[in-house]
Structure formats: structure tokens, C-alpha cells
Amino acid sequence: MSETITLADVKKNPAVAGLVKGANEQLKAMGYTEHGTRHAGIVAAMAKEIILKITNDEREAELAAIAGYIHDIGNAVNRRGHGEISGAMAFRILADMGMDIAEVARIIGAVGNHEEQIGTPISGIAAAIIIADKADVHNSRVQNRNPMTFDIHDRVNYAVTDTDFAVIPEEKEIRLSIKTDERLAGIMEYFEIFLDRMLIARRAADYFGYKFKLRINGMKM
């Protein structure tokens, strides 16, 4: 008999906790920004908000939150192909927890499609975690504390002093507003590493019939 699994249940699962921690430790060693409980929690919350505001489907929103929380656990194995790896890991964990297999399938499909290089917004859950994942840009994600050794990803994230994310149903828009310190990284540097991410975010917004709007320091992009 299947169980109604919630994000709270998933967070309590020792395998999930260990994989989220292990994935972040591996990425930190490789010089990547934070992909641990902070990022997982933010993506989960944003993905849930997107679904609730657009469809008002509470169960769909909970599934999006679960997918958002576990979307990066495959980084514990390898950065390359981590979306597909995350999906394979999630299948075993969620099935073992007793989740309905149809719900498991929807979650792993979304998780396996969140990477901008190969991902596609195949469902509302997938579209929600794509947008939420790409919207998490902030200086608190920088794990390298030595500015002298920053790469472009560190510089761009470190330069972001504030982000504001909003879903606006009456205008059919999803807005991401970013404030940056241009003394630390120029806007063109932002686009150098985030262009592909913004393009897939726009495709994800299109899935809902919405427009994805980006503002940097008050300028529409």
C-alpha cells in the first residue's frame, strides 16, 4: 500500500540527509558554489510557491517541493550527469519509503530534466524546479572564502547582494530581480555563465503560459 509522502518525511530520511551533505562536500572540494541544505531548501520552497500560485494544486506543489529538495543529490557521485544520477537515487529512496510509484515517476522525471544543458520542462513539477534552481543566485552560496582565488562563478555570485523572486498570476509573469555590486562583477560576466540558465528558465515559464522576466540592478534583460 502506498504512502502519502511529504517533504517533511523526505527531510527526515537519513539517506537523503547524507546524500545532500555528501553532494555539497564533493562540490565544495571541486570549487563549486553551495549545493547543500540551504540551496535544497530554497529550491523546494520556490518550486512549491510556483505551483501553488499558478495551479493551486497542493499535492502537485508538495511533489515539486520534494523534487526541489533532492534534485542535486547525484552530485555525491559526479557533477557530470548529476540530474540523471539524482533521479536514479531518488527512485530507490522514494520507492523504499512507500511513495506511490506514479508520483515517484513524476518526481524523477522532473529531477532528471533540471540541467540546462539537456533538460526539458516536461511537466509542471519539472518547470517549477528548473525556475527555482536557476533563481537561487546570492553571495551566500560562495563557499570559497578567499577572493583572490575566485573564478567567474564565485565572482558573480559574490557580487549579488539581494534577490527578489515573485510569481504574479494576474500578469502571467515570473520575475527575478537581482541587485549586484558591479565593482565585483559586471553584468556581462553574469550573462557569460547564466545565459543558458535563463533560457531554460524562460522555456519553463512558457510551460505555464507565463513570461520569465529578469531585472539586474533595475534594468530589464
Tell me whether residue 2 is in a domain: no
Tell me whether residue 1 is in a domain: no
Q: Is the alpha carbon torsion for 24, 192, 67, 164 positive or negative?
A: positive
Q: Identify the bridge partners of residue 178 per DSSP, sorted by sequence position.
A: 163, 216
Closest CA to 123 of 110, 133, 132, 111: 110
**Sheet-wide strand order for 211-216:** 160-168, 173-180, 211-216, 219-220
Q: Identify the bridge partners of residue 116 per DSSP, sorted by sequence position.
A: none
Question: In the chain, helix, strand, coil percent, each to 5?
Answer: 60, 10, 25
Question: How confident is the model over 173-211, as pLDDT tens digits?
Answer: 999 998 888 888 777 777 777 788 889 999 999 999 999
pLDDT at 16: 98
User: Can you read off the three cell numbers belonging to residue 209?
Assistant: 503560459
Q: At what angle do helices 37-55 and 124-135 cross, to 10 degrees?
A: 130
Tell me whether residue 205 is in a domain: yes
Q: If phi over 0 gives left and psi between -120 and 50 gives alpha, with beta otherwise, what is residue 159?
A: alpha
pTM: 0.92
Residue 140 parent element (H or E): none
Tell me whether residue 129 is in a domain: yes
Residues of the chain with pLDDT under 50: none
Q: How many structural domains are present in the chain? A: 1
pLDDT at 191: 74
Find the CATH number of the domain harbouring 211.
Answer: 1.10.3210
pLDDT at 211: 97
For residue 160, what are the domain limits? 7-220
pLDDT at 1: 57
Q: What does the alpha-carbon distance between residue 221 and residue 219 come to, in Å, rounded to a whole number? A: 6
